[in-house]
Structure 1
Amino acid sequence: MADITARLGFRHLRATPTSHIRHLNRGQLAHEGTGLAFWFRPLSAALSEVPVDDRELAMLFHSRTSDFQDVTVQATLTYRITDPALAATRVDFGIDPDSGAWRAAPLDQLATLLTETAQQHALGLLARTPLATALADGVSAVRERMAAGLAGEARIAETGVEVIAVRVVALRPEPEVERALRTPARELVQQEADRATFERRAVAVEHERGIAENELTNRIELARREEQLLAQQGANARLRAEEEAAADRVRTEAEAEADRVRATAEAERRTRLAAADAEAAHGLGTARAAAEAAWLTAHQQADPAVLRALALMRLAEHLPRIDSVTLTPDLLSGLLTKLGAGGADA
């Protein structure tokens, strides 16, 4: 929309680069072009603003195929006004000199023209096409038919409009029909899925059988190796027992030989000790006998008083310790008498 400002009874218009402005002053062309800016008198001016940029027009309409099935067509048109001066004379693009807004709805009028023209060509094509063919090849066929029909439409060319591109986004039947059409394909897909499942199960069973066979083979091999291990362990145990028995026998023989040697040495030692003891005892006996003989000879030759004194000394050596001695007059009298008698005899 053009930008219009008021100054002292005049108006200033400033257009956008994508808008074609046509200014008529008292019926005469004063300004025309895109991106203009100029002053004008509102009471004598007739202004038109025609957009020259690319426009997108989306459409959604229903059609019927040759087998009386309803389909929905979703498409988009791209168009542009290539001759804005011609379009301004065929469609009301006039704007208010005060606000710059369109007095009518020119783009809606163009949209109606393009939509109805495109629908007319699409409906004519689909009415002669079965549903299955329309769903399979209808998108490209409808697009080509709409593009050719719009390009050859004289009304559109006389309006100064050019259709740049036609895009058919979707072509769909009714939901019930679509579900019914999907059923065979779904069944085929399900059958393929079932077949793949069965094959996968068969492969899994084959793999499980191979795994079971491998496990059985491994168990047999393990049992065989365990048997070998047990046999080897038995042989090792027997060899160990034989070696231990031989070692015990050698050790026993060695111990017996050692005991025999020790016993022989002990017997010899004891024999030597017994002989030494016997010899010592014999020498001691001889010495004791000689001592006794000398002792007896000495006693035989000694005085009786000396013998008594020696006897008393020997007796005193063997008497227990005497802390105190009590001498009675009777004992002293007897001793004195004996002593006196002894002195007299001497």
Structure 2
Amino acid sequence: MADITRRAGWRHLRSAPTAHIRHHRRGRLVHDGPGLSFWYRSLTAALSEVPVDDRELTMSFHARTADFQDVAVQSTVTYRISDPATAAARLDFSVDPDTGAWRGAPLEQISTLLTETAQQHALDVLARTPLSESLVDGVAAVRERIAAGLAAEPRLPATGIEVVAVRVVAIRPEPEVERALRTPARERIQQDADRATYERRAVAVERERAIAENELASKIELARQEERLVEQRGANARREAEESAAADAVRAQAEAARTVRLARAEAEAAREVGEARAQAQAAWLRVHGEADAATLHALAAGRLAENLPRIESLTLSPDALSGLLDRLARRS
């Protein structure tokens, strides 16, 4: 909307560069162009303001597919007024000279024209397309058909309107139908997830089995090693026992040989001692045989005295002494 300033019965208009101003005074075009700024009198001026910038028109409407399913179409049409003079002549873009506000609703008329035209072409396409195909390829088909239909619509250039771009955002079925259509896909996704879970579990079981087999193989190998260790220990014990027995046998043989040698030496010594004693006894007997009786008695008394206990004192009675003296006298 243009800025209008009041000064002593005069008005000053200042417009934006995106607004095309047409100023008529007494039926003659005085000012015509975008971004104008001028003075005028409100009683003699007829003003029109036509926007020349690109404008976005968002539209949403319902359609029915070939299999009688309702869908909602969301699209956006970008347009601009390429011929402001033609648009101002066909639509009411006049503004109040005192306030600068539009007297009518020209943009709503343009929106209605574009919406009904786009909706007509979209309905024509969707009415011949099943729901499943509309959801898959309908966006591109509807966009192309709307763009072609708007480009071929004769009312748009006759009104000075140019369509810049057409975008179809989405085509959606009713919520119940959408949930029903999502169910098979969700089931497939769930089946894929379950399959992946089962495969993961199978892989885990296979890995656990491999681990168990490895553990069992390790235990078997450990048992074999323990068996070999026991056998080696037994062999070592047997070898040690055999060597100990052999050593004991050697020691016993050496001890026996030593005992035999000692016995032989003792026997030889005893024999030599006996022979020496026999020779001494023989010599002793031979000497005693050659000695007289008095000598023998003296020797016997000496030997007897050697074997008698110690006598501290000896008392001889007269009878014993007399008898001994008589025997000695007889012998003499």
User: TM-score, normalization: structure 1?
Assistant: 0.65
**Partner in structure 1 of residue 117 of structure 2:** 117
Mapped partners of 1:144, 1:233: distance in 2 = 93
Could you tell me how far 1:66 is from its partner in structure 2? Answer: 1.3
SS in 2 for 1:172: strand
**Partner in structure 1 of residue 189 of structure 2:** 189
State the AA in 1 paired with 2:148: A
Matches within 5 A, 1:184-223: 184-223=184-223
SS in 1 for 2:20: strand
For the pair 1:58 / 2:58, whether they are aligned, the reply is: yes
Matches within 5 A, 1:29-108: 29-108=29-108
Could you tell me how far 1:233 is from its partner in structure 2? Answer: 8.6
**Deviation string, structure 1 residues 37-68 (Cα, Å, up to 9, x no partner):** 11111110011111111100111100011111
Could you tell me how far 1:231 is from its partner in structure 2? Answer: 7.7
Mapped partners of 1:35, 1:142: distance in 2 = 38
User: TM-score, normalization: structure 2?
Assistant: 0.68
Mapped partners of 1:84, 1:162: distance in 2 = 11
Mapped partners of 2:235, 2:75: distance in 1 = 92
State the AA in 1 paired with 2:180: A
**Partner in structure 1 of residue 4 of structure 2:** 4
Mapped partners of 2:12, 2:171: distance in 1 = 49
Mapped partners of 1:123, 1:221: distance in 2 = 79
Mapped partners of 1:13, 1:93: distance in 2 = 16
SS in 1 for 2:104: coil
SS in 2 for 1:16: coil
Aligned CA RMSD, in angstroms, stands at: 2.5
Instruction: Go from structure 1 to structure 2 and tell me whether the alpha carbon gap of 1:227 and 1:98 turns closer, same or farther (over 3 Å shift).
Output: farther
Matches within 5 A, 1:224-239: 224-225=224-225
State the AA in 1 paired with 2:93: F
Mapped partners of 2:175, 2:51: distance in 1 = 40
**Deviation string, structure 1 residues 269-327 (Cα, Å, up to 9, x no partner):** xxxxxxxxxxxxxxxxxxxxxxxxxxxxxxxxxxxxxxxxxxxxxxxxxxxxxxxxxxx
Could you tell me how far 1:236 is from its partner in structure 2? Answer: 9.9
State the AA in 1 paired with 2:7: R
**Partner in structure 2 of residue 139 of structure 1:** 139
Instruction: Go from structure 1 to structure 2 and tell me whether the alpha carbon gap of 1:236 and 1:96 turns closer, same or farther (over 3 Å shift).
Output: farther
Mapped partners of 2:15, 2:31: distance in 1 = 12
Could you tell me how far 1:7 is from its partner in structure 2? Answer: 1.0
Instruction: Go from structure 1 to structure 2 and tell me whether the alpha carbon gap of 1:228 and 1:21 turns closer, same or farther (over 3 Å shift).
Output: farther
Matches within 5 A, 1:275-286: none
Gaps of 5+ in 2: 244-332
Mapped partners of 1:47, 1:238: distance in 2 = 129
Instruction: Go from structure 1 to structure 2 and tell me whether the alpha carbon gap of 1:213 and 1:34 turns closer, same or farther (over 3 Å shift).
Output: same
State the AA in 2 paired with 1:95: V
Identity of aligned residues (%): 73
**Partner in structure 2 of residue 157 of structure 1:** 157
Larger deviation, residues 226-235 vs 159-168: 226-235
Mapped partners of 1:238, 1:97: distance in 2 = 130
